[in-house]
């Protein structure tokens, strides 16, 4: 009897843990994935990014930064529907500092370059988090879907800088060798944990500056 | 009406008993041409009752007045050829090719003319750039002549001049190529000059011209800070701006190089003066706060800042800056320095104290963010769900559900 009660208790804890994980990690990630698939379908089938665009012309604009919401300090990646604020100059070596920043958007690593100043800028955000936050839970979950040529727009102090994705890489958490590589043009690195739902590896997307036209 | 012995005009439309209708016979005027600077004339307007019962006009009879001020006596700047940049491009040039003469700088309220000792088809005055054609080989001299004025164009100094030599090669002569090491890519903002409109009366249209250089390509854009709180970005190196207030303004410019980086320097700063009119309501404000160096560095770093502002009633009394780290400084100078010992993001605010002793600024273009970087990245930040939590949740959930199903089946 005691054995069965203990087993029952363990099973209950296991199910509760799963529910916690499902609510904080699985559902937000699934939501982001579903939204992406829905918008991909809209884009491919009707060439609009919003269902309202089927009727109203003002919604037929492709998301090329014209509709970005965070034009003071923000980032827009049209291909994966990212349009979020950026918190600049966040200490990437202080987990308390960056965890706090990631609750408010995408973090720019202090000691790396700012947009328009040359050099390498490093931006990071959650692929998922168990922190029970909804808005910025899985901001960079879709980084893996970016392809070379996709555009990334970064606003810093109301000025926009455009980048084009060149490549991606999966690295160990302690591998920072890419910081010391030589780059022909100003480059940014977008980072998130990989695979989603773990902290095992880091997924990096590299994008280089598009010269102003 | 009275006029302080400078302007007199009598007009009467009043009562027949005192003055006849349209008493034009009384009217007289005095020309103000040639009035020295620094003179104030007040024209008082009285009611027609003023003359009723004799000339007993008092303040109660005055209906209006107008003040006319002939302007400040300003010192005419001395000839300073260092303040004028002359450029000949290309130099040397071959016969039958185009050659451009350009002049810019803070000197030269009026530009008198230009002369060329030979070798080119050129005439007139160089305003900004002048395109000419080389027609004879030799070494020649270009002389640019100007005059400095202050306040108005009646208050000008003598003629100033500066010379520059240029060489024209015979068309058959080709320079021997000499191998040169590839220079490192450099770009900079080299000069900001006032082409025209300096010292004009308000509202003044002033033309500014900026010059930048880029060894890797050409300058793509120019950003002008006019010193009156307004900013404009353009692809033209020359820009016109209308100043709606008189006073002294600090104009600055940045250039966007071919690599997409904005470059600024103290060489791209120029003082614009707009002369006041007789009646102008007081206008003053903080125009801009510039971070001139130290931004984005690791601690300890010295941040250098420049606060600019204007006041149409005189010189600014003081400048103040809040460095965003709990330290604030007040000074007669508009340049400030502060050492930042700790990494962080600081909001720096600049203020000016106008002639009415009011502090203004601290927001908008007079507020900037100053970044002090942390130590470089040692390992990449963790941006996912702890792996252990995911494994525990999946295994726990699976075993829990399995147990529950087994329990149901056992019943």
What is the mean pLDDT for each group of 10 consecutive residues in chain A (213 residues)? 80 87 85 88 78 67 67 90 92 92 92 89 88 74 91 91 93 90 89 90 93 66
User: For residue B3, what pLDDT is reported?
Assistant: 36
Burial class of A184 by CB neighbour count within 10 A (0 to 12, 13 to 18, 19+): exposed
What are the structural domain ranges in chain B?
Answer: 1-70, 81-169, 186-277, 281-378
Say if the Cβ atoms of B377 and A92 lie within 8 Å: yes
Selected residue with higher pLDDT from B62 and B180: B62
Average pLDDT of span B166-171: 83
Structure tokens at B85: 């940049």
Q: Is residue A47 part of a domain?
A: no
Nearest to A192 among B372, B383, B390 (CB): B383
- How far does A146 lie from chain B, in Å, by closest CA? 18
Say if the Cβ atoms of A118 and B259 lie within 8 Å: yes
Burial class of B255 by CB neighbour count within 10 A (0 to 12, 13 to 18, 19+): buried
Average pLDDT of span B192-220: 90
SS3 helix, strand, coil % of chain A, rounded to 5? 35, 30, 40
Mean pLDDT, chain B, as a whole number?
80
Tell me the chain A residues in contact with residue B387 when contact means C-beta distances shorter than 8 Å: 197-200
Least confident segment among A48-52, B255-259, B321-325, B368-372 = A48-52
Kindly state the percentage of chain B with pLDDT values over 70: 74
- CATH number for the domain spanning A169: value is 2.40.260.10
User: For residue B236, what pLDDT is reported?
Assistant: 92
Say if the Cβ atoms of A102 and B383 lie within 8 Å: yes
Average pLDDT of span B200-225: 90
Say if the Cβ atoms of B385 and A199 lie within 8 Å: yes
Say if the Cβ atoms of B400 and A194 lie within 8 Å: no
Q: Is residue A57 part of a domain?
A: no
Q: Is the pLDDT of residue B4 over 50?
A: no
Say if the Cβ atoms of A89 and B397 lie within 8 Å: no
Nearest to B384 among A8, A88, A198 (CB): A198
- The Cα–Cα gap between A23 and A154 comes to 31
> For chain B, first and last CA: distance in Å?
117
Q: Is the peptide bond before B92 cis (omega within 30 degrees of 0)?
A: yes
Q: With bands split at pLDDT 50, 70 and 90, how would you rate the model's confidence at B302? A: very high
- How far does A128 lie from chain B, in Å, by closest CA? 5
Q: Is residue A52 part of a domain?
A: no
The residues, any chain, with a CB within 8 Å of residue A41's CB and separated by 6 or more, are none
Strand partners, A160: A155
Say if the Cβ atoms of A212 and B256 lie within 8 Å: yes
Question: How many domains are contained in chain A?
Answer: 1
The whole-model pTM stands at 0.63
Tell me the chain A residues in contact with residue B381 when contact means C-beta distances shorter than 8 Å: 92, 95, 98, 107, 109, 124, 191
The residue segments making up the domain with residue A143 are: 63-209
User: For residue B307, what pLDDT is reported?
Assistant: 94
User: For residue B109, what pLDDT is reported?
Assistant: 56
Q: With bands split at pLDDT 50, 70 and 90, how would you rate the model's confidence at B82? A: confident
Cα dist from B152 to B228, B245, B278, whole Å = 21, 16, 14
Q: Is the pLDDT of residue B363 over 80?
A: yes
Q: Choose from A7, A183, A197, A211 for mutation: most chain B CBs within 10 A.
A: A197
Q: With bands split at pLDDT 50, 70 and 90, how would you rate the model's confidence at B16? A: very low
B81-169: which CATH number, 1.10.3660.10, 2.60.40.10, 3.40.50.720, 2.160.10.10? 2.60.40.10
- How far does A97 lie from chain B, in Å, by closest CA? 11
B281-378: which CATH number, 3.40.190.10, 2.40.50.140, 2.60.40.10, 3.40.980.10? 2.60.40.10
Q: With bands split at pLDDT 50, 70 and 90, how would you rate the model's confidence at B175? A: very low
Residue B409, classed as helix, strand or coil, is helix
Asked if B81-169 and B186-277 have one fold, the answer is yes
CATH superfamily, domain B186-277, is Immunoglobulins (2.60.40.10)
Say if the Cβ atoms of A11 and B399 lie within 8 Å: yes
Q: Which of A159, A130, A179, A164 is CA-nearest to residue A24?
A: A130
**Nearest residue in B to A125, CA atom:** B383
Q: With bands split at pLDDT 50, 70 and 90, how would you rate the model's confidence at B32? A: low
The residues, any chain, with a CB within 8 Å of residue A27's CB and separated by 6 or more, are none
- The Cα–Cα gap between B280 and B355 comes to 15
Say if the Cβ atoms of A110 and B262 lie within 8 Å: no
Is residue B103 within 8 Å of B84, Cβ to Cβ?
yes
Q: Is residue A24 part of a domain?
A: no
Is residue A142 within 8 Å of A203, Cβ to Cβ?
no
Q: With bands split at pLDDT 50, 70 and 90, how would you rate the model's confidence at B180? A: very low
**3-state SS string over B165-197?**
EEEEECCCCCCCCCCCCCCCCCEEEEEEEEEEC
Cα dist from A105 to A100, A162, B14, whole Å = 10, 19, 77
CA angle, B139 then B144 then B148, to 5°: 160
Q: Where are the beta strands (DSSP E) in B261-365?
A: 262-274, 284-293, 301-311, 318-322, 328-331, 335-340, 344-353, 359-361
Is residue B256 within 8 Å of B262, Cβ to Cβ?
yes
């Amino acid at each position: 009897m005691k054995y069965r009660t203990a087993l029952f208790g363990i099973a209950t804890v296991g199910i509760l843990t799963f529910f916690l994980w499902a609510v904080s990690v699985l559902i937000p990630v699934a939501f982001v994935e579903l939204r992406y698939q829905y918008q991909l379908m809209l884009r491919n089938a009707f060439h609009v990014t919003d269902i309202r665009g089927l009727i109203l012309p003002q919604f037929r604009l492709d998301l090329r930064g014209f509709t970005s919401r965070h034009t003071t300090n923000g980032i827009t990646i049209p291909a994966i529907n990212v349009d979020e604020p950026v918190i600049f100059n966040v200490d990437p070596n202080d987990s308390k500092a960056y965890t706090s920043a990631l609750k408010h958007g995408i973090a720019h690593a202090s000691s790396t370059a700012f947009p328009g100043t040359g050099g390498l800028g490093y931006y990071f955000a959650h692929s998922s988090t168990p922190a029970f936050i909804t808005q910025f839970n899985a901001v960079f979950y879709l980084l893996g879907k970016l392809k070379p040529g996709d555009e990334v727009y970064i606003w810093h102090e109301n000025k926009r800088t455009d980048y084009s994705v060149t490549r991606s890489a999966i690295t160990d958490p302690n591998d920072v060798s890419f910081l010391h590589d030589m780059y022909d043009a100003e480059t940014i690195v977008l980072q998130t944990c990989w695979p989603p739902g773990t902290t095992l590896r880091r997924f990096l997307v590299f994008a280089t500056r598009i010269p102003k036209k | 009406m009275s006029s302080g012995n400078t302007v007199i005009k009598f007009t009467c439309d009043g009562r027949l008993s005192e003055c006849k209708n349209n008493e034009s016979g009384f009217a007289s005027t005095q020309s103000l041409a040639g009035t020295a600077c620094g003179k104030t004339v007040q024209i008082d307007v009285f009611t027609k009752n003023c003359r009723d019962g004799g000339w007993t006009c008092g303040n109660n009879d005055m209906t209006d007045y107008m003040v006319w001020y002939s302007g400040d006596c300003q010192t005419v700047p001395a000839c300073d050829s260092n303040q004028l940049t002359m450029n000949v491009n290309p130099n040397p040039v071959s016969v039958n090719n185009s050659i451009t003469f350009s002049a810019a700088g803070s000197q030269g309220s009026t530009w008198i003319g230009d002369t060329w000792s030979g070798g080119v088809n050129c005439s007139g005055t160089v305003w900004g750039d002048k395109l000419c054609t080389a027609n004879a080989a030799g070494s020649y001299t270009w002389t640019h002549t100007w005059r400095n004025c202050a306040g108005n164009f009646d208050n000008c100094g003598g003629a100033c001049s500066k010379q520059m030599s240029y060489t024209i090669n015979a068309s058959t002569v080709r320079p021997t190529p000499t191998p040169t090491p590839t220079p490192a890519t450099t770009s900079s903002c080299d000069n900001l000059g006032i082409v025209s409109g300096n010292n004009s009366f308000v509202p003044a249209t002033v033309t500014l011209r900026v010059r930048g250089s880029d060894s890797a390509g050409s300058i793509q854009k120019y950003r002008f800070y006019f010193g009156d709180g307004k900013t404009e970005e353009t692809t033209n190196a020359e820009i016109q701006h209308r100043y709606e207030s008189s006073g002294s303004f600090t104009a600055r410019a940045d250039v966007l190089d071919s690599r997409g980086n904005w470059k600024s320097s103290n060489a791209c700063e120029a003082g614009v003066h707009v002369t006041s009119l007789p009646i102008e309501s007081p206008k003053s404000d903080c125009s801009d706060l510039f971070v001139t160096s130290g931004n984005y560095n690791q601690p300890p770093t010295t941040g250098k800042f420049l606060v600019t502002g204007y006041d149409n009633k005189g010189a600014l009394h003081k400048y103040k800056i809040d460095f965003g780290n709990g330290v604030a400084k007040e000074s007669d100078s508009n340049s400030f320095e502060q050492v930042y010992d700790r990494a962080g993001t600081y909001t720096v605010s600049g203020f000016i104290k106008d002639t009415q002793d009011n502090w203004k600024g601290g927001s908008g273009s007079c507020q900037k963010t100053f970044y002090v970087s942390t130590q470089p990245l040692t390992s990449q930040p963790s941006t996912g769900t702890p792996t252990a939590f995911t494994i525990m949740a999946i295994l726990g959930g699976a075993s829990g559900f399995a147990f529950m199903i087994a329990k149901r089946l056992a019943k």
